[in-house]
Amino acid sequence: MPSSSAKSAKRLSVMAWIEDAYGGVVFVRQARDGRRWTLPGGKVKTGEALVNALRREVREEIGVDIASAAPLDILDRPRSGAVTILYRVLLKPGLMKPRPREIEKIGIRRRLPEGSTETARFFWLRSQHCFEPMALFAQTGGRRRSG
């Protein structure tokens, strides 16, 4: 059976879950492609390390550098041949500003914005059940609440 690595290779993307101290999450509104809301991030280039792609995409889209990033969740879409890895990101101090012609607007939201991408909706819903927002983690002094 012949195999083709090009046919079996998945497209990789990375996204950033960035929260403020009040539980708001950073979303970007795309300037094209339906002008939908999504989390900062994008495609990983061939030969590029995942975290380097994340740093590049966040810097390009919101103009601020990453202080730290840790893998948080994953979305595997076998039908489209794509995988998106979500990272919890802490930013270095700086003023966020959208990249012209790519990002129309940056918003910090405590609710999923209307008109969000499928990927942003997936991670938002997962955040409600699968991982604690950092604001909750900080309120417990770094200890998970038992329930």
For residue 112, pLDDT beyond 90: yes
Average pLDDT, the chain: 87
Per-residue pLDDT, 132: 63
Q: Which residues pair with 25 in a beta bridge?
A: 19, 109
For residue 110, pLDDT beyond 70: yes
The dotted CATH code for 10-139 is 3.90.79.10
For the chain, what are the domain ranges?
Answer: 10-139
Per-residue pLDDT, 16: 98
Compute the residue count for the chain: 147
Q: Using the 8-state DSSP alphabet, how is residue 101 labeled?
A: T
Q: Kindly provide the b/e burial profile for residues 67-76, where b requires at least 16 CB atoms within 10 angstroms of the residue's own CB.
A: eebeebbebe
DSSP3 helix / strand / coil % (the chain, rounded to 5): 25, 35, 40
What number is the average pLDDT over the span 129-147?
A: 52
Per-residue pLDDT, 23: 87
Span 51-99, pLDDT tens digits: 999 999 999 999 999 999 999 999 999 999 999 999 999 999 999 999 8
- Sheet with 66-77, strands from edge to edge, namely 41-43, 11-17, 82-91, 66-77
Closest by Cα among 56, 115, 43 to 85? 43
